[in-house]
Amino acid sequence: MQIERQARVAVVGAGFAGLMAARALAQAGADVVVIEARDRVGGRVYTRRTTSGVALDMGAHWIGPTQRRLAALAQELGVAATKTYNTGRNVYYHGGVRSLYDGAIPIGDPAVAAEVVQATLTLSLMATEVPLDAPWNAPNAAEWDAQTCASWLGANVSSQEARNLLTLGIQAIFSAEPRDLSLLHVLFYTHSGGGLMDLLNVAGGAQESGFVGGAQQIAKRMAADLGERVILDTPVRAIEQDERGVRALGDTLTVSAERAIIALPPTLAGRLRYTPALPGARDQLTQRMPMGTVIKVQCVYPTPFWRDEGLTGQASSDSGAVRITFDMTPDQGAPGVLLGFIEGDKGRAWGRRSLEDRQAAVVDCFARYFGEQARQPLEYIEFSWAEEEFTRGCYAGYMPPGVWTTFGEALRAPIGRLHWAGTETATVWNGYMDGALQSGERAAREVMGALT
């Protein structure tokens, strides 16, 4: 039996974007219903507890200093932020040799470091030429969208080690390979976050702080405020619209409304069946925005033993499954938690292997970077976002070459009664929680303007 529900606005997806849109609409007095496929809210923000009760984020965790929307919301909802542990030296593992360094860029060979700094500055400068609301209007849009980030690195960075380091940075930001990404997209994304170092840094950058008790609390508190307006366990399968209104259809529920906000990554929005069918440009856009690939892995130890050796817990490596690590130990100082990312091609390859193989490979990497004590975790926790039906990969959807300039205008443009939200549609901090919130606010404004 199909249950019918009426609202003025239907929001599909209870990630940060959908919840923020609904929050803004509810605060403006509009009757809104949020329909969520999973049995939980938060989407790509998901906190689990270890067996000893420590909250660990499987998805998004960090907030940077210029992510003001997220900071304001967290404060309003009473979710505290705490600085990422960043005291001591970082590990650089290169060519099988481990060394230590300070700051953001491993400086072994000064010529390599100079090339990395130069390329970072050049890309950040080029990025400022990309209009955030219309990247296809950048003066060099056609040229930049016709090449990948890898071809730019190949043509502009001469040393292999510098290229490897920059590749590591790109993998860490996009969980995709430089060859997958349009150069124009890399520049847009860089501008949207304020500059490459803003995206990469801990101090002063996107990894500066995390949320005590996990970032999903923010979603849970937004959902608690919305109360019965949020409906879980209901994948929307189809959207129908006509002159009378719009209907979001799940297997057992139909929500009828005047307007709908689809707050999904484009590739998931493309899986819904639309009646009437969407214009080709929108449909073809959603065929061309894949998600990155990341497996987030965490090992729990009795103590953060690396701190005793003056290490931050941050490592950068040119080999192994895990090439980037962080210290995720909770504020009280125990248990010790090391976090690693298996990203891009490594995520694709290791995702096909067994859990046991992955755990062995991860522990091997941690031991190479932080010593033999890393071989004995109390607990190994991993989360592979490519395996998630209602996410399909992470951190975000990205543009391969040619997509921004050919289909970019279809990313946010409403179609009839349908409005698009989700971090992929953000102009500021695209791909991040802050961008998701911005997109939700923008979609809510559009709908408020359109409601009769």
Ligand X SMILES: Cc1cc2nc3c(=O)[nH]c(=O)nc-3n(C[C@H](O)[C@H](O)[C@H](O)COP(=O)(O)OP(=O)(O)OC[C@H]3O[C@@H](n4cnc5c(N)ncnc54)[C@H](O)[C@@H]3O)c2cc1C
Are the beta carbons of 173 and 341 closer than 8 angstroms? no
Residue 43 makes contact with ligand X by CB under 6 A: yes
How far is Cα of residue 65 from the mean position of the Cα atoms in its chain?
Answer: 17
Under the criterion CB under 6 A, does residue 436 sit at the interface with ligand X? Answer: yes
Among the residue ranges 35-43, 71-79, 98-106, 195-203, the one whose residues contact ligand X (CB under 6 A):
35-43
- Binds ligand X (CB under 6 A): choice among 229, 296, 368, 419: 296
Distance of CA 24 to the CA centre of its chain: 22
Using alpha carbons, list the distances in angstroms from residue 208 to 85, 313, 334: 9, 14, 20
Residues 6+ apart with CB under 8 A from 63: 70, 71, 74, 81, 206, 208, 209, 210, 211, 433, 434
Tell me which of 10, 14, 150, 363 binds ligand X, using CB under 6 A. Answer: 14
Tokens standing for residue 205: 């950058």
Element (H, E) at 415: none
Q: Kindly write down the DSSP assignment for every residue of 321-343, as one continuous string.
A: S--EEEE---TT--SEEEEEEEE
Closest separation in Å from C-beta 278 to ligand X: 15
Residue 265 lies near ligand X (rule: CB under 6 A): yes
Report how many residues bind ligand X under the rule CB under 6 A: 39
> Rule CB under 6 A: which of 228-257 touch ligand X?
235-236
d(CA 69, CA 118): 31
Question: Which of 391, 405, 427, 438 contacts ligand X by CB under 6 A?
Answer: 391
Q: Cβ of residue 286: shortest distance to ligand X, in angstroms?
A: 13
- We find the least distance from the C-beta atom of residue 70 to ligand X, in angstroms, to be 7
What span, in angstroms and rounded, lies between the C-alpha atoms of 126 and 112? 21
Helix, strand, or coil (residue 401): coil
Smallest gap, in angstroms, from Cβ of residue 405 to ligand X? Answer: 23
Task: Specify the DSSP class assigned to residue 129.
Answer: T
Residue 46 is classified by DSSP as -
Q: Is 15 in the site for ligand X (CB under 6 A)?
A: yes
To ligand X, the closest distance from the beta carbon of 175 in angstroms equals 8
Answer yes or no whether residue 161 interacts with ligand X by CB under 6 A. Answer: no
The answer to the question of residue 263 lying near ligand X (CB under 6 A) is: yes
- Asked whether position 447 contacts ligand X by CB under 6 A, the answer is no
Stretch that binds ligand X, among 82-90, 110-118, 273-281, 391-399 (CB under 6 A): 391-399
> How many whole angstroms separate alpha carbon 439 and alpha carbon 300?
35
User: Would you count residue 60 as binding ligand X (CB under 6 A)?
Assistant: yes
Q: With the C-alpha atoms ordered 257, 260, 263, 268, is the resulting torsion angle positive or negative?
A: positive
Is the Cβ of residue 79 or residue 436 nearer to ligand X in the bound state?
436
Task: Report d(CA 52, CA 216) in Å as an integer.
Answer: 19
CB 116 within 8 A of CB 166: yes
Distance between CA atoms of 325 and 207, rounded to whole angstroms? Answer: 12
Determine the Cα–Cα distance for residues 447 and 93; give it in Å rounded to an integer.
51
The one-letter amino acid code at 258 reads E
Q: Which stretch binds ligand X (CB under 6 A): 60-68, 100-108, 148-156, 371-379?
A: 60-68
Instruction: Give the residue, chosen from 10, 36, 278, 428, that forms a contact with ligand X under the rule CB under 6 A.
Output: 36
Residue 60 or 311 with smaller CB distance to ligand X: 60
Least spacing, CB of residue 43 vs ligand X, in Å: 2
Nearer to ligand X, 123 or 269 (CB): 269
Query: Under the criterion CB under 6 A, does residue 294 sit at the interface with ligand X?
Result: yes
74-113: which residues touch ligand X (CB under 6 A)?
Answer: none
Instruction: CB nearer to ligand X: give 119 or 272.
Output: 272
Q: Which stretch binds ligand X (CB under 6 A): 38-46, 239-247, 307-315, 355-363?
A: 38-46
Span interacting with ligand X, options 11-19, 130-138, 319-327, 410-418, rule CB under 6 A: 11-19
Closest CB to ligand X among 121 and 238? 238
Does the protein bind ligand X through residue 65 (CB under 6 A)?
no
Question: Residue 11 Cβ, how far from ligand X at the closest point, in Å?
Answer: 9
184 φ/ψ sector (left φ>0, alpha ψ -120 to 50, else beta): alpha
Angstrom distances, CA of residue 99 to CA of 84, 106, 430, 442? 22, 9, 34, 46
Instruction: Give the tokens for residue 280.
Output: 């080709």
Told to check if 402 binds ligand X by CB under 6 A, we report: no
Which residues form the interface with ligand X (CB under 6 A)?
12-18, 35-38, 43-45, 59-62, 235-236, 263-265, 268, 294, 296, 385, 390-391, 394-396, 422-423, 431-434, 436
